[in-house]
Each structure stands twice: as structure tokens, then as C-alpha cells.
Amino acid sequence: MLFAGLAGGAGWWWINSEPAPISGRVLLSGDETGAVEIRVFQREDLSASWRELLAAAEVRAAELAELSAEALARHRQAWLAYDEASRVCAVGEEYNMPDLAELRAERDAKQAGEVAAMEELKRLSAEKEGLVTLEGLLGVLPAPLQTVTADAQGIFALPPPEGTGVVLVAVSPSGSDGGIQLRGWFEVLELEADGRLPDTVELSGEDQLEVDAIRRFVAGDMRAD
């Protein structure tokens, strides 16, 4: 009997010593159109993935800066050539010069050159703007430790993650102006004084997932190494 009582007590202790699930809530706004998916990552895995993309983007941004400066100079030259050809053509039209057709052809050719130079500038600018986007950063996420889905009220229960230094990345599509855009939340779980992860977590507007927040996270992680 004593042995059975001890065994039962040990079983009770073992069951109750298991860490409790982390309860959480995502504060949804009125325009949510889908369930919120919460993914759990090891801090170092997530940081390494994002760091690699940001580093590559930084290198390409420097290259694009040089290319844009050269393209800007070409566009200025093309615009000056078109402006001069336009003025010469205007004089030819005013005095009905015999070579008016040639002057118009020259003007149109210079205009086409100016338009092409402007398109190149726009292309380089668009590439630079697209180097680092939220969609791109989410596209290089490593495999999560675990994934859970919040209910319609944004409530979720997260099994205790293994290890420490975990990060929650929550993503949901949200309706905006008739389109679907990604919306996300980002939370680094810090250990409590007794070494445990917090029992509850709330993702609010202060935890909005955005490019600047990811940059700060990666920079902070690099300083911590």
C-alpha cells in the first residue's frame, strides 16, 4: 500500500511538473479575413535566415545605387538631347522648313531615347524597393518548431516549446481595399526569473510584423552573439 501510494504520488508529481501550455491571444481588428497562424522558431535559426536575405539585399542595394547614378546621368543627357531636338523642330514647323520631316523624325527618336532612359530608372528603383519586403522575408522562413492556429477570437494554446530563445511569428491575410494583404505579429519570448517561458502571451498592435521590426530583431541578435 505504501509503495502504491508512493508510486501514485510520484505519478501525480510527474504529471503536474509538466510545463503548462502557453495560452495566448492575438488582438484582431475588424478587417481580418482568415485564421491567424502562429509559428514557433528557434531564435538563432530565424535570425540566420533573415540575416542572410538582408545581407544579400544590402550588397545588391549598393550595386543598384551605382547603376541608378549612371542611369540618371544617361537620362539627363537623353532629356537634354530631346529638349534641343524639340526646340529645333518647333522652329522648323514655324518656318515650314523643307527638312521638317527629318527634324520631326529626329525629335521623335530623341524622345524615344528619353523615355527608354526613364524606364530604366524606374526599373532600377522598383528593384531596389522590392529587395526587402515582408512577403520576401516570410518566404525564407526556416521550418518552424511547431505551428498552431488561433480561433476566430484570436485565442490559441501553444504547447511548451523545447529549448529557449523562441520567437513567435503570427501571420494572417487581411482584407484591404478589396485585396488580400499579409498582416503579422512578432514576439520574442523571454525567459522569466525562474527560467521558464511565460505562461501567457498577447500579440497586439505593438507587436506588428514589419520590415523595420525584423531589421531590429536581426541587429539585436547580432549584438547578442
Looking at residue 190, its pLDDT comes to 80
Q: Are residues 219 and 169 in the same domain?
A: yes
Q: Are residues 104 and 151 in the same domain?
A: no
Q: Are residues 148 and 189 in the same domain?
A: yes
Largest Cα span, the chain: 121
Looking at residue 160, its pLDDT comes to 83
Q: Which domain holds residue 79?
A: 56-129
Identify whether the C-beta of residue 156 lies closer than 8 Å to the C-beta of residue 150.
Answer: yes
Tell me, yes or no, whether 14 lies in a domain: no
Eight-class DSSP state of 32:
B
- Residue 79 and residue 120: Cα distance in Å, rounded? 14
- Residue 70 and residue 92: Cα distance in Å, rounded? 33
Cell 504529471 belongs to residue:
15
Q: Where does residue 71 rank: exposed (0-12), middle (13-18), buried (19+ CB within 10 A)?
A: buried
Per-residue pLDDT of the chain (225 residues; tens, 9 = 90+): 434 443 454 444 444 556 678 899 988 765 555 678 999 999 999 999 999 999 999 999 999 999 999 999 999 999 999 999 999 999 999 999 999 999 999 999 999 999 999 999 999 999 999 999 998 999 999 999 999 999 888 899 988 887 667 899 998 876 555 444 567 898 988 877 777 788 899 998 888 899 999 999 999 864 443
Looking at residue 18, its pLDDT comes to 63
